[in-house]
Structure 1
């Protein structure tokens, strides 16, 4: 069995409330009898069940699995505290909707109404059967189980060469002009292996800038990681032929490595960052 709590706003406050009369909506009568005492919800019994926390909708809305940890009735409302299970990744309502019959949720209207239901279904068995297993994890470096993107971070991938310092400064200026901060791997030393610092920097970034000048193999490798992780990647180069063949269908910024060229690079990169940020 599991609790289903549906509401219209996000599950990010660790506490919530519902009208008392909405408890046990879309719940079979035998279950209501099992979890009701003297006409009121037996909250202590309900707290023993896992919970599916959903936003209203049947599409890309995010839902989570967790537990109601405390509940009480106050002024005809059920107020409750809850925790989300960090070992269960966020789900999409469309996944739940596709399996609605198996979850005893046959009524479409249930997906658009705030309520607390009890379902006589093994929630975790449903998840094991219907949610894709996690992919094999990398062995060369570590990726955190859950993303923690820093919204203001731009990661810069370029050769470790003093000649690229003025270019990095031009990129830094473009980021600063739109309220972002930029870092590259040689700015940090958090792990014994430099590859882990590089990957962590990419994984935390909102945007990754890769300078392909000179066809540096490390930069190409890092660009591939950034694309795989789903980051916004901006390619820059001093020479068109330095863009890998497999990436030439993507837009890139070409610049000259002189004072005027670096100013132009800052302006072009600033415009691209503004587009990504929606400014």
Structure 2
């Protein structure tokens, strides 16, 4: 079984509420009876179930999977806190809507159960449906390994740039921008987790919330790493000392141009900090 809590979400604030009158809408009577104590929902039993946190709509709205960690009834509302499952990446409502029959979310032909705040309980194995139908395994590369499901570290920013002493001050400026936005900044030469450096590079990109790629000098390794970051769907910030170093296929993307001197690195730090803050929604 699993909970469906449909409402608006601010994913940075993992507290929410639900009108008590909306409890067990779109839920079989027999299932609802298992989670009631008299006239009130049995919150302790509901909290044992996984939960689909989903905003209203059947389009590109973002939904998540997790659990309700605490709940109480106050002034006609169920107020609750929740945590998200890091092993299940964000999904779109449209993806779930395509599987609405398997999820037992097709009770109304007008899709009212997708356009009204409510808390339902479904007698379905949520994870089985997600992993078999909604979130199929991605094709596995042969040159390096990536995990079956993403595990993005929300406070990690990775940097792809030439391993050259001439870039030390540039990297320091990037780190300062990361610190200002409460991000941990890492380059592949700072870690040694795998026998081959390519695996460390890819793992660092795959775990990162943001990837900064310095295309200065048209370094082929950085170009390769930028391609990996884009393929994995990461937020990529391109920086360069010369706009001519940006490949033709990437020139439609915005980039930050900087000068490698004291004034230029200060400007780079400020521009990066502003862009990072926008991506993080600060």
TM-score, normalised by the number of residues in structure 1: 0.69
Structure 1 gap ranges (5+): 69-81
Question: Is 1:220 equivalent to 2:228 in the alignment?
Answer: no
> 1:149 maps to which residue?
153
Give the drift of 1:223: 0.6
Where 2:97 maps in the other structure, the secondary structure is: helix
Rate the CA distance shift 1:123–1:150 in 2: closer, same or farther, 3 A: closer
Structure 2 gap ranges (5+): 69-81
> 1:105 maps to which residue?
106
Q: How does 1:70-81 map to 2 (within 5 A)?
A: none
> 2:118 maps to which residue?
114
C-alpha contact 2:8 2:56 (8 A) present in aligned 1: no
C-alpha contact 2:87 2:151 (8 A) present in aligned 1: no
C-alpha contact 1:6 1:115 (8 A) present in aligned 2: yes
Where 1:142 maps in the other structure, the secondary structure is: coil
Rate the CA distance shift 1:23–1:179 in 2: closer, same or farther, 3 A: closer
Instruction: Tell me how large the CA RMSD over aligned residues is.
Output: 4.6
1:233 to 227, 231, 236: 236
92-101 vs 229-238, which moves further: 92-101
Q: How does 1:46-61 map to 2 (within 5 A)?
A: 53-55=52-54, 57-59=56-58, 60-61=61-62
Question: Is 1:209 equivalent to 2:212 in the alignment?
Answer: yes
Rate the CA distance shift 1:262–1:65 in 2: closer, same or farther, 3 A: closer
Rate the CA distance shift 1:53–1:197 in 2: closer, same or farther, 3 A: same
1:250 to 236, 249, 253: 253
Please give the alpha-carbon distance, in whole angstroms, between the structure 2 residues aligned to 1:23 and 1:246: 51
Rate the CA distance shift 1:166–1:129 in 2: closer, same or farther, 3 A: closer
98-107 vs 215-224, which moves further: 98-107
Rate the CA distance shift 1:228–1:188 in 2: closer, same or farther, 3 A: same
C-alpha contact 1:185 1:197 (8 A) present in aligned 2: yes
Give the drift of 1:5: 4.3
Give the drift of 1:88: 6.8
Where 1:150 maps in the other structure, the secondary structure is: strand
Rate the CA distance shift 1:254–1:7 in 2: closer, same or farther, 3 A: closer
